[in-house]
Structure 1
Amino acid sequence: MRSLTIKKTVSGAVAVVALLAVGVAAGLWWERNQAPGGGTETPADAAPGGPAVLYWYDPMYPTQKFDKPGKSPFMDMQLVPKYADEGGDDASVKISPGVSQNLGVRLATVTRATLDSKVTATGIVDFNERDVAIVQARSGGFVERVARLAPNDVIGSGAFIAELLVPEWAALQEEYLALKALGDPALEEAARARMRLGGMPESLIREVATSGRIRNRIAITAPRGGVIQSLDVRPGMTLMAGQTLARINGIGTVWLDVAVPESQAGAVRVGQSAEVAFAAFPGKPVQGRVTALLPVLNDARALRVRVELPNQDGRLRPGLSAQVSLTGSGGESALRVPTEAVIRTGRRALVIVTEAEGRYRPVEVILGPESGNDTVILSGLDEGQTIVASGQFLIDSEASLQGIVARGAGSAVAMPAPLALHEADAVIDEVSDDSVTLSHGPFKTLSMPGMTMEFALARPELAKGLKAGDRVRAGVRETDDGLVIEKLDKTGGTQ
């Protein structure tokens, strides 16, 4: 009886095992025949029936691609999948028309036109230093009378300044009159020449010859109208020959000293027209002309440009400030886009180009000068392309989140100087020709804590002679592709 019970128990166990085996086999068959792709396991990040995964990437290093999911070798985080999208590629971002409208996306066209420069700057009115008269005593004498004048007074041409008594002229004039009475033309002309050499003006010589009287006093008058900048004559003074009495600066024309920002200095040329607006005379602009580009920048690192202005009515006085618009045509055609369409990151400039089916692609460009509301494009775009003029920052942010890198604009133009290196102490874990894995301390200038991660080498020779376990001082540089090793200096022995 007991033997029969044991046999039944064993038979039951065998039956259970057999049923389990059949169930497992059926499950495997079902998985092979029902899984997508003929038995290929669907990634955890992809929905069944959804787009295929192109690759996985670390959002902190979007240009580094991986063929399978897992943990990022750079940061302590899981890799993110990049899905395929019909009608596009992995270098552009697709946005539906509704979302584009909500973002306020406004488009513009890359155009080619003649480069007309317009520079707006500020200026200060100054004297025209070419319109200066120096009043001097041609002979030594005594100052008997001086006009009631003072520096900064405005006088007209021929205005009386001072009267001088010149004793030497009396003897010269008496000699001339005596020789003239003899009736010898040669002697008379010789006496006239001596009076000229004595500093007597021709008008005074003619007056003595006509009247026959001694005139040893002379009135000093202004040779031109303007502002008295200096007046160094007083009644009773004794003057030497050639001594300066006054300095007069004409005000028929004035100079405008314009400070043009260094970034716009290349757009200014001699001969350009200038429209000058003064706050003191609203609605009454003055037209002038650029006459000189001074060779030295001012203290604010701005180019000093000299503009000459007419001042017939004398209302433009030195010290007045003005807004200046300098216009000119370079005669060259150039590609241009609205300035608002350009994204400046500090190290490069981007423009968002539109493509078919609602796709947008960031493109790196090389910028030229600004012309009005437009910016010249030296490289990166073609005439007729459609670009985003408003809302481009949100599209660029979306492209960055998706790991899209802007297409380069060419290498014909010199790139900016490399940024300063960020340094930390580290130990080499693994080294190859193009990369190195470091267990590094904190990069304080990056606010980056210490960790173990792989870095790309800027040059293979940086790792020459180094091996795993070596202690080094690492210097990294920030690039669009992540951190790149620029320096590996061995600091000690091997760990």
Structure 2
Amino acid sequence: MAVALIIGGCAFYLGRSTAGSQGTQAATAPAASSAGERKVLYWHDPMVPGQKFDKPGKSPFMDMQLQPVYADEASDSGVKVSSQVQQNLGIRTAMVERAEVSSTFDAVGTVQFDERLNVAVQTRTAGYLERLNVRAPMERVAKGQALGTVFAPEWLGPLNELIALKRSGASAELVAAAKERTRAMSIPADLVRQAEEGATPPQARYTLVAPANGVVAELGVREGVAVSPGMTLFRIAGLEKVWAVAEVPEAQAIRLARGQKVSAMLQADSSQTFTGTLQEILPQVNSATRTLQARFEVDNKGGKLVPGMLLRLQVAGASSSRLVVPAEAVIRTGTRAVVIVRKDNGAFEPRDVQLGADFGDQLEIVQGLVEGDQVVASGQFLVDSEARLRSVLGSLAAAQPASAPAPASAPAAYSAQGKVEAVDADSMTLAHGPITELKWPAMTMRFNKPSPTAFADVKPGDTVRFEFKKKGDEHELVSVHRMGGAK
């Protein structure tokens, strides 16, 4: 019995000691928790970070709960996104780097004759075209090929005179004067030599030959017609070199310089390639397309290029070191260019940048970023639709700290457009369209007026744009504007 009492006493003592220890720990636990609790400065909607609230609740802007902002992160700018959300949205970042890039771009050029290679075939005397060897335009001719035969009756007199002087043994001065007269009448030297030899009757015919290789771009005569001095009978266009004329946008034209090399290939057959050089940028801008014409000289020794063909031109510019980002990382809002930068603390913030040259899948950054910055390259548009994202970015960039937190209970105002059905002293009945924020379909309903004299100029039948807010179980009008009129 004594042993049992001793054992019971020890158990009682141990039980009190254990309970006392646990009670002490339980008493100190809240204090420790309170001591380690993060201090909440305010609550906000992450999609509208400029607006602050003094207590938790549902966001008046989005269908979501307000998020707390703690004192230890209040100094951080930007928006933080958890790693899980980043993975779900597929957010991918890229580093801003300096790379060696060249201002290479592609263009389409139309083949034209190189007008510097054009030559004209004329006659310097009156006569008749007895024979025509080339009878159609665009025929290919070779240098020295006969084009036609001209009979010049006016040459008979000077040639016969020269023959008579030679046969009569006239003085050298008279013979020299006769020869000078033949040169003044542009009589070919071969005919003059034949007349001096006197072996054959004088010939007043001569053959027109092609002065260069090419095609007959212009045929100005027909067989048997009369010709006169200075008349262009043929115009031959050379084909050893051709022009490729391309329409180049203004933004790219300023990067061109005479002498730049170009590689070209046929639009119809990319296996046939050619080389060329930029010869001229024509000093005229097309007001409709805002482009300039660039004239490239392309080698055509094989004669495969003819006017009217299309060439794909690749213009190679000089290489230089530039700061670049992926083109997909830049959001163009129309008035500015924005990138989403990932900071060292993991937060994201929008940043305005100034763009330079466009290199296709990369864009040059002139101002706004430094080498080593991390920018969001994909996933920025998965947060919301493109239009909503741009709106959020604009709010982030222009957000200013509020002087005092707005009460969470402040009613939100909603706007819609509708037609006035009836107007009473204390209310107005409106037929309005759907209101997305409240998930209302189009319907006709009654709205309270803030006072009997409010909106006195609004009459039944008016089309209006109005704003209202909830007031208890009722809806009260804030403003009513007639479409095209004053309030």
Whether these two folds match at TM > 0.5 is: yes
Question: Alpha-carbon deviation of 1:53?
Answer: 4.4
Asked if 1:92 is matched to 2:78, the reply is yes
Give the Cα separation in 1 of the matches to 2:133 and 2:208.
Answer: 10
Aligned-pair CA distance for 1:134: 1.2
1:342 aligned residue (307, 310, 330) = 330
Q: Measure the CA separation in 2 of the matches of 1:88 and 1:399.
A: 24
Say what the alpha-carbon RMSD is for the aligned residues.
Answer: 4.2
% identical aligned pairs: 33
What is the number of residues matched between the two proteins?
379
> How has the CA–CA distance of structure 1 residues 161 and 88 changed in structure 2, closer, same or farther, with 3 Å as cutoff?
farther
What residue number does 2:248 align with? 260
Residue 215 and residue 353 in structure 1: after superposition, are their counterparts in 2 closer, same or farther (change >3 A)? same
Other-structure match for 1:304: 293
Shift of 1:64: 5.4
Deviations 1:187-242 (A, max 9, x none): 33332222121122344434444565412001111111211122122222111111
Distance 2:338 2:74 in 1: 20
For the pair 1:103 / 2:92, whether they are aligned, the reply is: no
Other-structure match for 2:114: 128
Instruction: Please list every run of 5 or more consecutive structure 1 residues that lacks an aligned counterpart in the other structure.
Output: 1-33, 39-48, 409-438, 454-471, 476-490
In structure 2, C-alpha distance between the alignment counterparts of 1:377 and 1:448, rounded to whole Å: 47
Unaligned 5+ segments in structure 2 are: 1-30, 400-454, 470-480
Q: Provide the C-alpha distance between the structure 1 equivalents of 2:166 and 2:482, rounded to a whole number of angstroms.
A: 103
For residue 338 of structure 1, report the CA deviation from its aligned partner: 1.5
Distance 1:280 1:332, change over 3 A: closer
Q: Secondary structure at the match of 1:340?
A: helix
Contact kept in structure 2, 1:58 and 1:79, CA below 8 Å: no
What are the superposed Cα offsets for residues 396-454 of structure 1, whole Å, 9 maximum, x if unpaired? 8679659852489xxxxxxxxxxxxxxxxxxxxxxxxxxxxxx9x99xxxx9934499x
In structure 1, the residue matched to 2:68 is 83
CA distance in 1, matches of 2:205, 2:302: 35
Q: Which residue of 1 aligns with 2:104?
A: 118
Change (3 A) 1:326 1:77: closer
Conservation of the 8 A alpha-carbon contact between 1:53 and 1:82: no
Secondary structure, counterpart of 2:154 in structure 1: helix
**How many angstroms apart in 1 are the aligned matches of 2:94 and 2:226?**
78
Matched, 1:316 2:305: yes
TM (norm. structure 1) is 0.66
Aligned twin of 1:195:
182
Which residue does the alignment assign to 2:451? none
Q: How many angstroms does 1:100 deviate by?
A: 2.3
Contact 1:254 1:310 in 2 (8 A): yes
Q: Within 1, Cα distance between the matches of 2:339 and 2:135?
A: 66
Aligned-partner Cα distance in 2 for 1:54–1:286: 69
Specify the alignment match of 2:465 in structure 1. Answer: 449
Preserved CA contact (<8 Å) 2:179 2:192: yes
Contact between 1:336 and 1:374, CA under 8 Å: does it hold in 2?
yes
What amino acid does structure 2 have at the position aligned with 1:350?
V
- Say which SS state the counterpart of residue 181 (structure 2) adopts: helix
Alpha-carbon distance in structure 2 between the residues aligned to 1:335 and 1:161: 62
Q: 1:284: how far off?
A: 2.5
The amino acid of 1:198's aligned partner reads M
2:221 partner SS: coil
* 1:28 match: none
From the superposition, tell whether residues 373 and 448 of structure 1 become closer, same or farther in structure 2 (CA, over 3 Å).
Answer: farther
2 CA distance for matches of 1:55 and 1:99? Answer: 20
Q: How far apart, CA to CA, are the structure 1 residues paired with 2:320 and 2:210?
A: 50
Match for residue 315 of structure 2? 326
Q: Which residue of 2 aligns with 1:174?
A: 160
Partner of 1:460: none
Please, which of 378, 387, 398 is the counterpart of residue 390 of structure 1? 378
SS of residue matched to 1:168: helix
Indicate if the aligned counterparts of 1:366 and 1:377 stay in contact, CA closer than 8 A: yes
Distance 2:273 2:139 in 1: 27
* Cα pair distance change 1:96/1:398, threshold 3 Å: farther
Alignment-derived partner of residue 140 in structure 2: 154
| Aligned: 1:405 with 2:396 | yes
The answer to whether the 8 A contact 2:163-2:198 is kept is no
